[in-house]
């Protein structure tokens, strides 16, 4: 191949990771130019780029006439899709990093399920007050994962790994999925033993329209869907009221999927036993937001995807797609721009 493929990386990757990219093919001409804003990158670099690997840094359509493909460093691409580059009729292809974050996000979800089921918020509150729990036999009854029913809203790479971990603890899995006829996972998986590639771990599969029916059966609910027009506000009062008063709710999806006012009401009115949130419509969560004082709620600052292994996993995902791009094979995790993921 005589033509050089100009690859621009706007992430602060190490020399080792950069070398892994250049080793894919002699046809690759790699430029690593860390930048948070497109104005930080010279016009001549934008003008040459054919492939872009980035987090948030995107060119204006006129800046990058040769750009054919954008690999996002993130799983959620809803913010990228709002940018002018992807509002054009001839937008470049966009792929997400979905799958590279599945292990750590699923572990975070499992941590929340165990913490809620074993009433860690209650003990943390007692610890701050320097109080020993009185009448422990009366005031503490944990909810075990073994024998419980875990409902997963969104059966993508993260949802499937949550299912795998929860089932290992002895839980029954229910799930919702947009396309009920396509069970295998055709996205990226960092290892063969990750998730549920064939779609066999759940007991029952529901369409998104049947959330309330699934919620009625669940002891725990985990939300893992991407943010799209269809999923924005999909968890609201009606869905939360369908849950058992003894059930727990965990959201590791995207801010805006859950109606936070409805969740606050559900916690204060006792519709559910507790919740854990890692994502919010407004981040950071304002200091005066009522959720800070909601009972039995664990708040984490959108960190479920953090991992010391993430950059390496993401780089391997990019390399796999780069190989496919060079050989005109279908790339993994290609985003449907109209569907939003």
pLDDT tens figures, 303-330: 999 999 999 999 999 999 999 999 999 9
User: Using one digit for the tens of pLDDT, what is the confidence trace for 18-58?
Assistant: 999 999 999 999 999 999 888 889 999 999 999 999 999 99
From the list 108, 160, 254, 313, the catalytic residue is: 254
Half-sphere exposure of 253 (CA within 13 A, CB side): 30
Q: What is the mean pLDDT of residues 227-253?
A: 97
Q: Is the pLDDT of residue 283 over 50?
A: yes
From the list 282, 283, 329, 339, the catalytic residue is: 283
Ramachandran region, residue 156 (left: φ > 0; alpha: ψ -120 to 50; beta: rest): beta
Residue 284, preceding peptide bond in cis (omega within 30° of 0) = yes
From the list 212, 302, 320, 324, the catalytic residue is: 302
* 5-100+308-326 shares its CATH topology with 102-299: yes
User: Using one digit for the tens of pLDDT, what is the confidence trace for 119-132?
Assistant: 999 999 999 999 99
The H or E element that residue 117 is part of is helix 102-117
> Residue 1's pLDDT is what?
44
Count CB-CB contacts under 10 A for residue 14: 12
Round to whole Å and give the CA distance between 246 and 253.
Answer: 22
283 catalytic per annotation: yes
Q: Is the pLDDT of residue 147 over 60?
A: yes
> Residue 105's pLDDT is what?
97
Strands ordered across the beta sheet of 248-251:
204-206, 172-176, 149-153, 220-223, 248-251, 274-277, 297-299
> What are the sequence ranges of the domains in the chain?
5-100+308-326, 102-299
Instruction: Tell me if the domain spanning 102-299 has CATH number 3.40.50.720.
Output: yes
User: Using one digit for the tens of pLDDT, what is the confidence trace for 73-132?
Assistant: 999 999 999 999 999 889 999 999 999 999 999 999 999 999 999 999 999 999 999 999
254 catalytic per annotation: yes
Q: What is the mean pLDDT of residues 248-270?
A: 98
The DSSP string of 261-307 is: HHHHHHHHHTSSSEEEES--SSSSPPTT-GGGG-TTEEE--S-TT--
Q: What is the mean pLDDT of residues 225-252?
A: 97
Q: Is the pLDDT of residue 241 over 50?
A: yes
- 3-state secondary structure string, 182-193? CCCCCCCCCCCC
56 catalytic per annotation: no
CATH superfamily entry for domain 5-100+308-326: NAD(P)-binding Rossmann-like Domain (3.40.50.720)
């Amino acid at each position: 191949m005589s033509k050089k493929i100009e690859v621009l990386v706007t992430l602060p990757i190490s020399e080792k990771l950069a070398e892994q990219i250049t080793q894919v093919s002699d046809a690759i001409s790699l430029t690593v130019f860390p930048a948070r804003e497109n104005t930080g990158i010279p016009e001549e670099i934008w003008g040459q780029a054919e492939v872009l690997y980035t987090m948030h840094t995107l060119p204006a359509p006129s800046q990058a006439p040769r750009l054919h493909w954008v690999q996002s460093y993130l799983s959620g691409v809803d913010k990228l899709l709002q940018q002018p580059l992807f509002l054009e009729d001839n937008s470049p292809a966009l792929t997400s990093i979905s799958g590279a974050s599945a292990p750590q996000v699923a572990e975070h979800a499992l941590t929340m399920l165990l913490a809620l089921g074993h009433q860690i918020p209650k003990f943390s509150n007692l610890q701050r007050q320097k109080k020993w729990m009185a009448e422990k036999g009366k005031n503490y009854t944990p909810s075990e994962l073994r024998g419980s029913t875990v409902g997963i809203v969104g059966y993508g790479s993260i949802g499937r790994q949550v299912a795998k971990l929860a089932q290992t603890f002895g839980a029954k899995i229910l799930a919702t999925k947009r396309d009920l006829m396509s069970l295998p996972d055709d996205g990226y998986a960092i290892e063969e033993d990750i998730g549920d590639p064939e779609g066999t771990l759940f007991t029952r599969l529901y369409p998104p329209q049947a959330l309330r029916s699934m919620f009625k059966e669940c002891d725990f609910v985990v939300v893992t869907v991407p943010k799209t027009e269809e999923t924005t506000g999909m968890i609201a009062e009606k869905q939360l009221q369908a849950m058992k008063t003894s059930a727990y709710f965990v959201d590791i999806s995207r801010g805006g999927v859950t109606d936070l006012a409805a969740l606050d009401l559900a916690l204060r009115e006792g519709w559910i036993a507790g919740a854990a949130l890692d994502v919010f419509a407004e981040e950071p969560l304002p200091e005066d937001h009522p959720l800070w004082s909601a009972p039995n709620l664990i708040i984490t600052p959108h960190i479920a995807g953090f991992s010391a292994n993430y950059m390496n996993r993401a780089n391997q995902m990019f390399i796999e797609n780069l190989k496919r791009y060079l050989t005109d094979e279908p790339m993994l995790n290609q985003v449907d721009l109209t569907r939003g993921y």
